[in-house]
Amino acid sequence: MLKLNKTVKTLAVLLAASSLALTGCGRAETPAASDSAAAAGFAADSLIGVALPQKTSENWVLAESLFNDGLTGAGYKADVQFANGGVSEQQNQISAMVTKGAKVIIVGAIDGGQLGTQLKQAKDAGATVIAYDRLLLNTSDVDYYVAYDNFKVGQLQGQALLDGMKAKKPEGPYNIELFAGSPDDANAKVFFDGAMDVLQPKIDDGTVKVVSGQKSFEQAVTQGWKAENAQKRMDSLLVGSYSSATVDGVLSPNDTLARAILTSVKAAGKATPTVTGQDAEVESVKSIMAGEQYSTINKDTTALVEHSIQMVKDLQGGKTPEINDPKSYDNGVKVVPAFLLTPQIVTKANAAEQFANDKILGPLTK
């Protein structure tokens, strides 16, 4: 996990450029505030706030309904909000949740480094703060982090890219391009660094060539995770670097961007490259089964939401929530106790098995 700890520290520097800098490499102990909050408990019908980012993927939309149904079904009052208007809207929503008396606030941040004032307000009011899917950065006012192992996600994507290209062309070298997520998303660089952990040795030994030369995270980012931004950049890459060369593969950090990249390639009349993804979106699963997009990552939103709600139940009952990674996620100010779920790679070869119990995706793999 040392690589992951370093990755998150590097990420905090990038996201805090406006005013804050990442601190040293020391690890912190879990603060007493988390234990005391758990010991206190709270009423079974308390308000629970859930602050979600913009609706940039199917999984975020699904999370909204799962949180509403799960929290209400458990007897809590649920206040689930999307911040489609941006960071300032999310800041206002969290402040409103505090004012309403939320006992736990679950935050899927638009920008994990821009909520410090609101999170301090929540902690000062006695609320427990849980970072959901994306780490909250440069603040001591976060108690827990629940997510999939995002460095592992990147590693799976990098390996899938290599495997997919080799399946099409057993002998290299391979021409590739790199895409990353939005720089204001705390996960984006973790995904990218995980992938580069696998790809960089192949770049170094000449097996893989990034033809455009755009190898850094800063060069690969896709602002806002917007499909149109990815498609526009891929259009430019194809014109600038592939007038005669063939693009064998593209590292895409999620399914929405993967489909945009494939749209660009198709419009340019190029052969379909190996393209990775993430989130197991319906249209991408269809694309995988049709032999277009090569892979996705299955990160079951239901399991992630269920564990988040279990944390709420533990806190309400005066128990300390379960964690399985107490030391890897340094947010720049403290090490945040984390519970990590395991992501799964999905290709056409194993899609039926992966989605056997999924009522929506399962039938698409028959």
Taking only the tens place, the pLDDT of each residue in 288-339 is 999 999 999 999 999 999 999 999 999 999 999 999 999 999 999 999 999 9
Interacting residues of 124 by C-beta distance below 8 A, sequence separation 6+:
none
What rounded mean pLDDT belongs to the chain? 90
C-alpha triplet 348, 352, 356: angle, nearest 5°: 155
Q: What is the pLDDT of residue 56?
A: 82
Residue type present at position 195: A
Are 289 and 364 contacting, i.e. CB atoms less than 8 angstroms apart?
Answer: yes
Q: Does the pLDDT at position 236 exceed 90?
A: yes
Q: What is the pLDDT of residue 327?
A: 93
More confident: 210 or 33:
210
Q: Does the pLDDT at position 22 exceed 50?
A: no
Q: In the Cβ-directed half-sphere of 85, how many Cα atoms lie within 13 Å? A: 7
Residue 58's pLDDT band, with cuts at 50, 70 and 90, is confident
Q: What is the pLDDT of residue 39?
A: 52
DSSP annotation string for 300-312 = -HHHHHHHHHHHH
**What does DSSP say about strands 128-132 and 104-107: parallel, antiparallel, or unpaired?**
parallel
Q: What is the pLDDT of residue 31?
A: 40
Q: Above pLDDT 90, what percent of the chain?
A: 86
Q: Does the pLDDT at position 11 exceed 90?
A: no
The structure tokens 């014109």 sit at: 239
Q: Does the pLDDT at position 222 exceed 80?
A: yes
Taking only the tens place, the pLDDT of each residue in 258-297 is 999 999 999 999 999 999 999 999 999 999 999 999 999 9
Q: What is the pLDDT of residue 3?
A: 40
The whole-model pTM stands at 0.83
Structural domains in the chain, CATH included, are 2-142+300-342 (3.40.50.2300), 150-299+347-365 (3.40.50.2300)
More confident: 310 or 22:
310
Q: What is the pLDDT of residue 27?
A: 31
Q: What is the pLDDT of residue 336?
A: 98
Interacting residues of 351 by C-beta distance below 8 A, sequence separation 6+:
285, 288, 289, 361, 364, 365
Mean pLDDT, range 223-241, rounded to an integer: 97
Q: Does the pLDDT at position 38 exceed 80?
A: no
Residue 12's pLDDT band, with cuts at 50, 70 and 90, is very low
Taking only the tens place, the pLDDT of each residue in 145-181 is 999 999 999 999 999 999 999 999 999 999 999 999 9
Taking only the tens place, the pLDDT of each residue in 95-154 is 999 999 999 999 999 999 999 999 999 999 999 999 999 999 999 999 999 999 999 999
Q: Does the pLDDT at position 10 exceed 70?
A: no
